[in-house]
Amino acid sequence: MKSLQSVFKQKEKKRLLAGGIALWGLFVFIYILGMLSPVTSGQGQSVNITIPRSASSSNIGRILHEQGLVHSAWFFNFYTRLKGVDGKLKAGRYTFSTAQSLPEIVNELVKGPDEGRVFTIPEGFNLKQIAELLEREGLVTRRDFLAAAAGDTFDYPFLQGLPAGPNRLEGYLFPDTYRVGSNTSAHEVINLMLSRFDWKLKEMDYYRKVKAAGLTLHQAVIIASMVEREARVDRERPLIAGVIFNRLKRDMPLQIDATVQYALGTQRAKLYYKDLEVDSPYNTYLFKGLPPGPIACPGEASLLAAVQPIKTSYLYYVARPDGTHAFASTLDEHNTNKRKYIR
């Protein structure tokens, strides 16, 4: 009888041991699966990093972990050693996505950096100009870029609530210099520029500044885009923003030429009276208040000017031949400036 009980106890111990081993195996499996998976789901965010020469696998893992690209620096080092590639990781500049898995990142590091292409988006360019520039550079076609801008999904908080349409991303693609791979898609280019805009908002503490100015973010970007297209020198950007605020407070039409150019779909050096009659909500000669959306992609100086305007009594300004502006508080002063500077 005791012998039979002993047999049962031994079987029970084996069963519990087997169950414990299975449970532990499941835990290890889930852990490894998690470590191999992307840090974020969905489209992720683009991250530019530089791997220095002679960096060890553990150093590279630390860099990737600090940039939010892998779950664990230790596991990265363990994985590369397990795969036998820890000595094959190449130095250079890379653009990774937080939606890439660890094996995908390691494969790219083994392959080496795609030096790719560098392009610069000037401040004040609109979507169509950006599309044309990228096509000239041979990066993506104009058609693909505009189609992605109009229809693709991008998960950024500042895009929530924006009206759908071909111009929905106008103003939100940050003008800057970018490095991309040779086979980068239109979607990836746009996501890179949106990611840079998102980073800039955080760097400038922009949401707080927008709230302090009594604006929504969309209103601030609209004002910044008009400042960007009107100003030629940085010191005048807050002055032009101040004029916009003053005219809005007095319920005066903004009468900004750049909005008419946007409505016409052309960047003309000179506008005629017939141009000022174009029937468009972007025509600030015909319609009071802000236009429905930004008219260009503003840079940092214009974004800050929109939320930190200089308070003056100015209601008018006219361009001088050197690109600066003559400001006026009354219509008579403005007409005098026009006679002086407009030929």
What one-character-per-residue DSSP string does 101-152 give? -HHHHHHHHHH-----EEEE--TT--HHHHHHHHHHTTSS-HHHHHHHHHH-
In the predicted structure, residue 12 carries a pLDDT above the cut 70 = no
The SS3 assignment for 271 reads coil
Strands (E), the chain: 46-51, 92-97, 117-120, 177-180, 316-319, 325-328
| 12 domain-assigned | no
pLDDT tens figures, 267-316:
766 777 787 878 899 999 999 999 999 999 999 999 999 999 999 999 99
In the predicted structure, residue 7 carries a pLDDT above the cut 70 = no
**So what's the pLDDT on residue 315?**
95
Distance CA 8, CA 178 (A): 70
262/331 same-domain check: yes
| 14 domain-assigned | no
pLDDT tens figures, 114-140:
667 889 999 999 999 999 999 998 889
pLDDT tens figures, 128-185:
999 999 999 888 999 999 999 998 889 899 998 888 888 999 999 999 999 887 778 8
| Burial class (CB within 10 angstroms; exposed 0-12, middle 13-18, buried 19+) of 20 | exposed
Distance CA 73, CA 69 (A): 10
Element (H, E) at 261: helix 257-264
In the predicted structure, residue 1 carries a pLDDT above the cut 70 = no
| 17 domain-assigned | no
| 184 domain-assigned | yes
Q: Mean pLDDT throughout 230-236?
A: 92
Number of structural domains found in the chain? 3
pLDDT tens figures, 81-123:
999 999 899 988 888 888 899 999 999 999 888 667 889 999 9
Q: Domain range for residue 225?
A: 212-341
The SS3 assignment for 173 reads coil
334/225 same-domain check: yes
**261 closest CA partner among 133, 124, 120:** 124
Amino acid at 339: R
166/256 same-domain check: no
Band (pLDDT 50/70/90 cuts) for residue 3 is low
**So what's the pLDDT on residue 94?**
85
**So what's the pLDDT on residue 117?**
80
Question: Which of the listed residues 67, 86, 111 is the one where a domain comes to its end?
Answer: 111
102/148 same-domain check: no
Question: Which of the listed residues 185, 203, 221 is the one where a domain comes to its end?
Answer: 203
| 152 domain-assigned | yes
162/195 same-domain check: yes
97/79 same-domain check: yes
How many CA atoms within 13 Å lie on the side-chain side of 227?
Answer: 32
Rounded to a whole number, what is the distance in angstroms from the first to the last CA of the chain? 117
pLDDT tens figures, 32-74:
888 888 988 776 788 888 898 889 999 999 999 999 999 999 9
| 315 domain-assigned | yes
